[in-house]
């Protein structure tokens, strides 16, 4: 599982506070990624640092991967 901050010119509302920003927290495993809009400011503060959903996203991506393989093997 890799976790990083991605900046995009495409602004989305922060999931927590609703503030518009181009900051995303990305969780990636096996080439599948989950991208979550979470704000971040220039002082390295913001909702980005309040959230850690590593365990859940790992499980979600593994489940997704298993389902994709299952469908592909039909």
- In the complex, the residues that contact Zn ion under the rule CB under 5 A are 14, 16-17, 19, 39, 47
Q: How far is the CB of 55 from Zn ion (least distance, A)?
A: 21
Write the DSSP assignment of 2-68 as a string of letters: EEEEEEEEEEEE-TTT--EEEEEEEEEETTEEEEEE----TTS-SGGGG---HHHHHHHHHHHHHHH
Residue with tokens 């809009």: 37
Structure tokens at 59: 């499980």
Shortest Cβ distance from residue 64 to Zn ion (Å)? 26
- Please, which residue, 27 or 61, has the CB nearer to Zn ion? 27
| Residue closer to Zn ion, measured from CB, 36 or 47 | 47
Smaller CB separation from Zn ion, 16 or 34: 16
Q: Compute the least distance from the CB of residue 30 to Zn ion, in Å.
A: 28
């Amino acid at each position: 599982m890799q976790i990083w901050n991605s900046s995009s010119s495409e602004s989305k509302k922060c999931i927590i506070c609703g503030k518009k920003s181009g900051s995303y927290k990305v969780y990636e495993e096996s080439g599948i990624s989950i991208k979550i809009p979470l704000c971040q400011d220039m002082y390295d503060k913001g909702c980005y640092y309040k959230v850690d959903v590593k365990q859940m996203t790992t499980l979600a991506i593994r489940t997704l991967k298993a389902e994709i393989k299952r469908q592909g093997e039909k």
